[in-house]
Amino acid sequence: MKITVKTLAIRPPAPLDAERAMELPDGATVADALAKLGLEKPGSHATLLNDESVPTGKRAGTPVNENDVLTIFPPIHGG
């Protein structure tokens, strides 16, 4: 299946393209997509799947589907 991956302000090793197509096997999860990008370290970034937040603890159980959009960005800290 093919999904769209958008990265915002992500440092290497993630590919430098801000938006790209990614091919994943059927049954893949958000965690699988992150692993394919080399971004499996929990808490180092935030994820949205089709504009809905996917918390770190739910990534392995959140399936992705054909034409989904996965957005990845650093967590926002402030006070």
Domain contains 34: yes
Q: Would you write out the chain's pLDDT as a tens digit for each of its 79 residues?
A: 999 999 887 666 555 677 889 999 999 999 999 999 888 777 788 999 999 999 999 999 999 999 999 999 887 766 6
Domain count, the chain: 1
- The pTM of the full predicted model, rounded to 2 decimals, is 0.86
Q: What are phi and psi of 77, to 5 degrees?
A: -115, 150
Domain contains 42: yes
Measured torsion, CA atoms of residues 49, 40, 55, 7, in degrees rounded to the nearest 10: -40
**Domain range for residue 45?**
28-63
Buried b (16+ CB within 10 A) or exposed e, 24-43: beeebbbbbbbeebebeeee
Sign of torsion, CA 62 78 44 23? Answer: positive
